Amino acid sequence: MDAAGRTVLVRPDHDLFTRGNQVTASDPVAARADDVWKVYGSGEAEVIALRGVSVTFQRGVFTAIMGPSGSGKSTLMHCLAGLDSVTRGEVHIGETRVTGLGDSGLTKLRRDKVGFIFQQFNLLPTLSAKENILLPLSIAGRKPDDAWFDTVIKTVALQDRLGHRPAQLSGGQQQRVACARALVARPEVIFADEPTGNLDSKSGADVLGFLRDSVKTYGQTIVMVTHDPVAASYADRVIFLADGAVVDELSDPTPDMVLDRMKRLDNPAEVAR
């Protein structure tokens, strides 16, 4: 494992991209970052958050992005989702080139191709669960597909809670509403930002279960940022970031495997040994 880790660390990033591309050459790609740089500030205050990240997300795959604090995992997700602009490089979601889109293009992208799940749930407190779930569709002016809505509701087990306000729901239930909200529009990719960060382990396991099921059963693509190895173990693939660069990746991870990699990332001295 030491050897593998070191190899990954010294390998130039474009190699990783090439490798990813080769592996998934026949599969459709849901999202892709090509040599993405993100630099905040300038001069003395310059902070490089991403240094030439290239990564590809295949359709129907649940990917977790992990890394220590400040590794750039949130920044990468924001850039992928079009919430933040990249300094250099390109981002694509499906066929759409996100880099260089104007506000209306980005709005259309978020409306049609991207779904979000947030750590703080971010439900509108004044709307009922059902209204919250249907909000993206009503914003887009689209009619909900009743059968799909029922399926989603069943998947997240919220049949009895549709009329409730967020304040009347538990944290786990609120996050399930948020999941349903993301799923109901059938976006190209769902980006989840620490979705279990505010939940107890039981509720977190429920939510992660739903996410994995939606990938397995309905072919949904999910990209999740997390620092919880258990959460990451639900994913099909884990990408590790450190210091703004992709340093490793795992397929079909277990919590122990993830934890092990994380430990080494947290302690570079050990890696060097």
Residues that bind other proteins (CB under 8 A): 74, 78, 83-84, 103-104, 107, 110-112, 115-116, 118-119, 122, 124-127, 131, 135-136, 138-140, 181, 185, 193
Q: Least separation, in Å, of the C-beta of 45 and other proteins? A: 17
Q: Least separation, in Å, of the C-beta of 224 and other proteins? A: 14
Judged by beta carbon, residue 134 or residue 247, the one nearer other proteins is: 134
Q: Least separation, in Å, of the C-beta of 150 and other proteins? A: 21
Judged by beta carbon, residue 3 or residue 167, the one nearer other proteins is: 167
- How many Å apart are CA 137 and CA 49, to the nearest integer? 34
Where does the chain show beta strands of DSSP type E? 29-40, 47-58, 62-66, 88-93, 96-97, 114-117, 189-193, 221-225, 237-242, 245-251
Characterize 120-153 residue by residue with b for buried, 16 or more Cβ atoms within 10 angstroms of its Cβ, and e for exposed: ebebeeeebbbebbbbbbeeeeeebeeeebebbb
Q: Least separation, in Å, of the C-beta of 125 and other proteins? A: 7
Judged by beta carbon, residue 137 or residue 271, the one nearer other proteins is: 137
Characterize 225-252 residue by residue with b for buried, 16 or more Cβ atoms within 10 angstroms of its Cβ, and e for exposed: bbbbbbbbbbbbbbbbbbbbbbbbbbee
Judged by beta carbon, residue 115 or residue 204, the one nearer other proteins is: 115
Q: Least separation, in Å, of the C-beta of 257 and other proteins? A: 28
Judged by beta carbon, residue 116 or residue 240, the one nearer other proteins is: 116
Read off the tokens for 254.
């277990």
